[in-house]
Amino acid sequence: MSQKKIGDVVLNVQDISLRFGGVTALTNISFDVREHEVRAIIGPNGAGKSSMLNCINGVYQPQEGSISFRGQTFKHMNSRQVAEMGIARTFQNLALFKGMSVVDNIMTGRNLRIKSNLLMQAIRNPFSIGGAQKEEEAHREFVEHIIDFLEIQAHRKAPVGQLPYGLQKRIDLGRALAMEPQVLLLDEPMAGMNLEEKQDMSRFILDVNDEFGTTIVLIEHDMGVVMDISDRVVVLDYGKKIGDGTPDAVRSNEDVISAYLGTSH
Partner 1 sequence: MAFFLEALFGGLMAGMLYSLVALGFVLIFKASGVFNFAQGAMVLFAALAMARFSEWIPIWTGIHSRFLANVMAFVLAAALMGIVAWLVERLVLRHLVNQEAVTLLMATLGISYFLDGLGQTIFGSNIYPINVGMPKDPLMLFERTFDGGVLLNLEDIYAGSVAALMVAALSLFFQKTATGRALRAVADDHQAAQSIGIPLNRIWVIVWFVAGITALVAGIIWGSKLGVQFSLTTVALRALPVVILGGLTSVPGAIIGGLIIGVGEKLSEVFLGPFVGGGIEIWFAYVLALVFLLLRPQGLFGEKIIDRV
Partner 2 sequence: MLYRENGQLKTTYGADQQIFPIAQDRWLIWALIAFAFIAVPLLADEYLLRAILIPFLIMSLAALGVNILVGYCGQISLGSGAFMAVGAYGAYNMLVRIPGMPLIPALILGGLCALAFGILFGLPSLRVRGLYLAVATLAAQFFADWIFLRIKWFTLDSPSGSVSVSNLQVFGLPLQSAADKYLFCLGMLAVVALLAKNLVRSAIGREWMAIRDMDVAAAVIGIRPMYAKLSAFAVSSFIIGMAGALWAFVHLSAWEPAAFSVDLSFRLLFMVIIGGLGSIVGSFFGAAFIVVLPIFLNQILPAAGAIVGVNISTAAVSHAEFMVFGALIVWFLIVEPHGLSRLWSIGKQKLRIWPFPH
Question: Is 95 among the residues that bind partner 1 (CB under 8 A)?
Answer: yes
Q: How many CA atoms lie within 13 A of 52 on its CB side?
A: 34
By a kind-dependent CB cut-off of 5 to 8 A, residue 126 interacts, out of partner 1, partner 2, none, with partner 2
* Dihedral, 101, 106, 112, 116 alpha carbons, nearest 10: -50
Positions in the binding site for partner 2 (CB under 8 A):
57-59, 79-80, 82-84, 88-89, 91, 95-100, 104, 107-112, 114, 116, 118, 121-126, 132-133, 136-137, 140-141, 144, 175-176, 179
Report 47-76 residues binding partner 1 (CB under 8 A): 50, 54, 59
> By rule CB under 8 A, what string of x and - marks binding of each residue 7-36 to partner 1?
-------------xx---------------
Pairwise CA distance, residues 27 & 33, whole Å: 19
By a kind-dependent CB cut-off of 5 to 8 A, residue 79 interacts, out of partner 2, partner 1, none, with partner 2
Cβ at position 173, least distance to partner 2 in Å: 12
The answer to whether residues 96 and 158 touch, using CB atoms and an 8 Å cutoff, is no
User: For every residue of 98-129, which 3-state class applies, written as one string?
Assistant: CCCEHHHHHHHCCHHHCCCCHHHHHCCCCCCC
Cβ at position 27, least distance to partner 2 in Å: 24
By a kind-dependent CB cut-off of 5 to 8 A, residue 20 interacts, out of partner 1, partner 2, none, with partner 1
Cα dihedral 140, 142, 143, 147 sign: positive
Contacts of 97 (CB under 8 A, 6+ apart): 104, 105, 108, 160
Residues that bind partner 1 (CB under 8 A): 20-21, 50, 54, 59, 91-93, 95
